[in-house]
Amino acid sequence: MNELIGTLSDGTPVHRWTLERAGVRVRILSYGGIVQDVEVPDRDGRTGNVVLGFDGLDGYLAHPEPFLGALIGRYANRIGGARFTLDGTEHVLAPNDGPNSLHGGERGFDKRVWDAGEVAHGLRLSLVAEDGEEGFPGRLEVTVTYTLDERGALHIAYEAVTDAPTHVNLTNHTYWNLAGSGTAGGHELRVAASRYTPSGPDLIPAGELADVSGTRYDFRETRKAGGGYDDNFVLDKGVTEAAEEVAELYDPASGRVLTVATTEPGMQVYTADHIGEPFEPGAGVALETQHFPDSPNRPEFPSTVLRPGEVFRSETVYGFSVR
């Protein structure tokens, strides 16, 4: 089911699709591919929304900075110095996070209206990023498919092709609050990551893959998430062809459990300490499955290069249950 929910200043219409299956309801906007809400039951069977979002389009237009629920590209996370060299050619990007490029630049995929069409139990979104947009080389054709499976798990499948060598790193920026209100500081988190990428104040990795043992970054055993995190965790499984479970988020108050499975090698954990009004700090937890920050400038990291004739593929699955 889809409905018109508003228009942009240039008259472009924005629609909302509703997916329902196995007791889960998900609403997705064509603007930014935004996951507006996800409704799932708690341990007592009471249904509630477990993601941060706005009631209408105007909220997202007025508050773009948190990237609430949006699809992120052409490059998720940060690229240091807003530049990289590929095959001997330097490419200068749009700096929108101090001197760095963040989440694709000033007009990333989160600010685009995607073409949309229904598929079985889901929605397929597509767009074209032209050669040179935000400084990135290559004409990139992107498709993202949201589907609910028979268990009510939300699958996000990404595909992209290019006509020239480029860098691609795609994710979804949903903030989860399994309580449905208040903050997520009391949620408990587990992440299958023995290492993380330390970074400086600008959140650009230093290049080291550091051991989490004995540090506040050790979530290999479930413990309270708390706050103060905006860090990339190096998933133990690495890059995989099929999505493998890498994380679990649990809210003891509601009993809701969120599991995360992905093909990606990293996951950015952001506890929304700087999310800003109208939300309070710590209102949600973003679990952004992706390649590592600044990979275009770090040949020792898993590669994000996509070349003509290749197909970028990635999948992340969010599962829901109660305990």
230 is in an annotated binding site: yes
Binding residue per annotation — 149?
no
- 173 annotated ligand-binding residue: yes
pLDDT tens by residue, 263-317: 999 999 999 999 988 999 999 999 999 999 999 999 999 999 999 999 999 999 9
Q: How far does Cα 32 stand from its chain's mean position? A: 12
User: Under a CB-based contact definition with an 8 Å cutoff, are residues 122 and 19 in contact?
Assistant: yes
Confirm or deny that 167 is annotated as ligand binding: no
Tell me how long the chain is. Answer: 323
**Are 234 and 196 spatial neighbours (Cβ–Cβ below 8 Å)?**
yes
Q: Evaluate whether 13 touches 4 at the Cβ level (below 8 Å).
A: yes
**pLDDT one-digit tens code per residue, 213-267:** 999 999 999 999 999 999 999 999 999 999 999 999 999 999 999 999 999 999 9
Closest listed residue to residue 319, CA positions, set 243, 266, 252, 253: 243
Q: How confident is the model at residue 180 (pLDDT cuts 50, 70, 90)?
A: very high
- Asked whether 75 and 86 are in contact (CB, 8 A), the reply is no
Question: Are the C-beta atoms of 268 and 250 separated by less than 8 Å?
Answer: no
**DSSP annotation of 130:** P
Q: Binding site annotation covers 91?
A: no
State the Cα torsion 211-270-110-28 to the nearest 10°: 110
Strands (E), 121-225: 122-129, 140-148, 154-162, 166-167, 171-172, 175-176, 188-191, 195-196, 210-211, 223-224
pLDDT tens, position by position, 101-127? 999 999 999 999 999 999 999 999 999
pTM of this structure: 0.98
Q: Residue 1's pLDDT is what?
A: 80
pLDDT tens for each residue of 62-71: 999 999 999 9
| Three state DSSP letters for 154-168 | EEEEEEEEECCCEEC
Report the distance separating Cα 221 and Cα 206, nearest Å: 26
> pLDDT digit string (tens) for 121-156?
999 999 999 999 999 999 999 999 999 999 999 999
* Structure tokens that stand for 43 in this block: 């341990």
Strand partners, 266: 234, 290
**Mean pLDDT for the stretch of residues 184-200:** 97
- As annotated, the active-site residues are 173, 288
Residue 304 is assigned to a ligand binding site? no
